[in-house]
Structure formats: structure tokens, C-alpha cells
Amino acid sequence: MSALGALIRRDIRIAFRVGGGALIGVMFFLTVVVLMPFAIGPDLALLARLGPAILWLGALLASLLTLDRLFLADHDDGSLDLITMSRSPLELSCAAKALAHWLAAGLPLIIATPVLGLLLNLDVSATAAVALTLLAGTPALTFTGMIGAALAVTLHRGGLLLAVLVLPLSIPVLIFGVAASEAAITGPLSFGGPFSILCALSLFGLVIGPFAAAASLRHGLD
């Protein structure tokens, strides 16, 4: 467990260094949300109605933008081989790296949501609902995206493959995340249904993602 804790701390420190990638996702998220009002126009009612979908779409794209760094840097400097050969199970190491990625790249998106919600004419309760759904759903984006990152790390032009693999897996998370946000804001659907499915998707990714990513890494590094 101490080795896994050290791996998490190491990845977080690397992510927050200059060029580490943690702030790239936040800046991309900010850019998407800031540009949307200019594209939609001055209709505040329309902006508020589309606000949850805009925030969720921005979070999904920002998460995808930083996923390629999950294993690539370790593969380039050779530390991925050491992680694979360590005494800690590779599945736990993959889970630890995904958790570090979410803490460095996913959690800042949730923290920034209340501020960005003001740009989309969302009130405090609506912004809080969107932030809650992001808190429940963004782990699913990370743990399912980890599978694509593991497959792409040893392949040429893996970034394109990563997008092709991860986007279809992210669509259910996007659908139920937006549905839960809109149910909490406007109704008439119940918030509990789509939110429970969103939590289940994150738990499913937590269970399946590390095993699938570890199997992909073992096959790709052989």
C-alpha cells in the first residue's frame, strides 16, 4: 500500500508541474464554457437550459484531452516497465494511476464548475446539481478511458486510437450525467434514477478498468 501511495503522490506531483497536463484540462474546460455564450447568443433562457449539457460536454472533452498522459510518460522514460515488474499487482498500480489522474485532472473540473456555471446563467442550486453529477460521473470517464490509454500507449499514433476507443464508452456517462443534471434542475423526471445509473457506471469502471488496462499493458509490453 505504501508503494501505491507513493505512486499516487508521484503522479500528482508530475501532473502539476509545468507541462504536466493537469491545468491543460481546466483551461480547455474554461475555453469551451466561455465560447458557448458567444456561439448561442444573448438568449439567457436558452443558455440556462443548455448549461448542464455544455458543462458535461466540456468536462468529457477535457478529460479525454489529458488521458493520453496516463501511461505515455511512464512508457517513454522506462518507468512503466518497473511498474509492470514490481511486486504490487499491476491492476492495483493501474487503479492508483487512474485515481491520481482523476485527482489531478478531474477534480479541478468539478471545483471550477460553480464559477463557470455563472457564465451559463445557472443559479446556485443548478450549478451544485451539475457539480454533484460530475463528481459521480467523472471517475467513470477516467477508469474507462484508462483502458484506451493502455491500448494506445505502445501503438504508433495512439492518440487517434484513444479518441476512437474512449468516446463510444463515454457516451452513456454523458447521457445519464446530463439527464441527472436536468432532472435536478427542471424535472419532471426523478433525479435518483439517472444519478444511480451514473454512480453504477463509475463503480463498473472502477471494477473493470484496472483489470482491462493491466491486461492491455501486459500484452503490449511483451
Give 48's pLDDT tier (boundaries 50, 70, 90): confident
Q: Count of domains in the chain?
A: 1
**Which domain does 169 fall in, by range?**
2-219
For residue 40, give the amino acid letter.
Answer: I
- Determine the Cα–Cα distance for residues 77 and 47; give it in Å rounded to an integer: 45
How much is the pTM? 0.87
Write out pLDDT tens, residues 66-86.
Answer: 887 788 777 777 778 788 887
Contact between 134 and 110 (Cβ < 8 Å): yes
